[in-house]
Structure 1
Amino acid sequence: MSQSAIDIETYLSTYDQLEQAIEGLSEERLHAKAAPNQWSVTEVLAHVADHNLIVSFRIREILSESEVRLPAFTQDAWVEGQKANKGEAADILAAFRSLLIYNSQLFLRLEPEDWEKTGTNAKGETVTLSGVVRGFITHLQYHLQQIARIRNEQTTSSGLRGV
């Protein structure tokens, strides 16, 4: 087992954090939207699962030392195009967790120098493998706050308390 440049437990804990963030929400609240152009909690979950897919691809491109630019994605179009709000939170979280586990198994095989391998992102910036994974963890924290805001707005506007 090699030494990791990232804390794999912190990476894996993102699943537990998402699960806790939606704990106690009814199906109605998981799919409720404050406005047509705002995401529901289910759509936020779909977005972080999509982001996990893209990051998984970026990780592999960096490790392969590919010269291809790392992909970006149009998050709103992805969420809308896949009709994410019709999905089930449990199914989305299961896919998210599977990718976390699969990637963490890869991380355990890496050598310290692998974490410093680089790729070029869609903006033309050079990024390291460790930076991409840390960025994923940070990005997820933003969306946990987004879920908390949605929950709070739902409670404030409707008087609901976790239903």
Structure 2
Amino acid sequence: MKTTDLQFTKPFPFYKNYIDLVKDVELMDMLQRQSQNFPEFMATIPQSKLDFRYAENKWTMAEVLLHIIDSERIFQYRALRFSRGDQTPLPGFEQDDYVPFSKANNRTLQSLIDEYSIVRNSTLHLFNQFDTNDLERKGIASSLDWSVGALGFVICGHQKHHRNILRERYL
């Protein structure tokens, strides 16, 4: 599946920005490539910079990295539910509420790299078993219609978005 295969029935502006960051790629190729290159990127971050904030009231680098992991878990869970035909509308999540409880700033860089790799490996296994019908199956989360495929591309684009921010504002 490519991003051009996605159909949106309602305005999807916030999340479409993430999808637009990964245009014209095959979903499984992008998930696989990121599973290799994102840990390599993470490994270049000095441990001493994990608690760096580029401005007051902004997240630390460790918090951004754990946010990427937490969000992937949430989007993966949504994809699982919708792929299995679950039509229960799912609530959104407030990312800023997660950070104070994440304990991200107590983590080592290696523990974040390891956790990312485990979560992405799980995402790869989940999405690898989806066929076209599964990827087109829809559900509601955050009061928006989502397809399973759109969730996969949001996982990729969300990671790319935050990687760009880490490069531009933190490193």
TM-score interval, smaller chain: 0.7 to 0.9
Query: Which sections of structure 1, spanning at least 5 residues, go unmatched?
Result: 153-163
- More displaced, 95-104 or 18-27? 18-27
In structure 2, the residue matched to 1:28 is 48
Aligned sequence identity (%): 18
Distance in structure 2 (CA, Å) of the matches to 1:63 and 1:132: 11
Q: TM-score, normalised by structure 1?
A: 0.80
In structure 2, the residue matched to 1:100 is 120
Deviation at 1:34, TM superposition (A): 3.0
1:40 to 37, 50, 60: 60
Other structure's SS at 1:31 match: coil
Deviation at 1:24, TM superposition (A): 3.3
Deviation at 1:66, TM superposition (A): 1.2
- More displaced, 134-143 or 78-87? 78-87
Cα contact 2:52–2:170 (8 A) shared by 1 = no
Letter in 1 for 2:155: F
Other structure's SS at 1:66 match: coil
Per-residue CA deviations over 1:39-76 (Å, capped at 9, x if unaligned) read 12111100001001101210111012112223422212
Distance in structure 2 (CA, Å) of the matches to 1:71 and 1:97: 26
Deviation at 1:17, TM superposition (A): 3.4
2:98 to 55, 70, 78: 78
Alignment CA distance shift 1:108-1:27 (3 Å): closer
Distance in structure 2 (CA, Å) of the matches to 1:64 and 1:79: 30
**Within 5 A, what are the aligned runs for 1:1-163?**
6-122=26-142, 124-152=143-171
Alignment CA distance shift 1:88-1:116 (3 Å): same
Letter in 1 for 2:150: G
The number of residue pairs the alignment matches comes to 148
In angstroms, what is the RMSD of aligned CA positions? Answer: 1.9
Per-residue CA deviations over 1:85-125 (Å, capped at 9, x if unaligned) read 22122212212211221221222222211110001121x22
Query: Which sections of structure 2, spanning at least 5 residues, go unmatched?
Result: 3-25
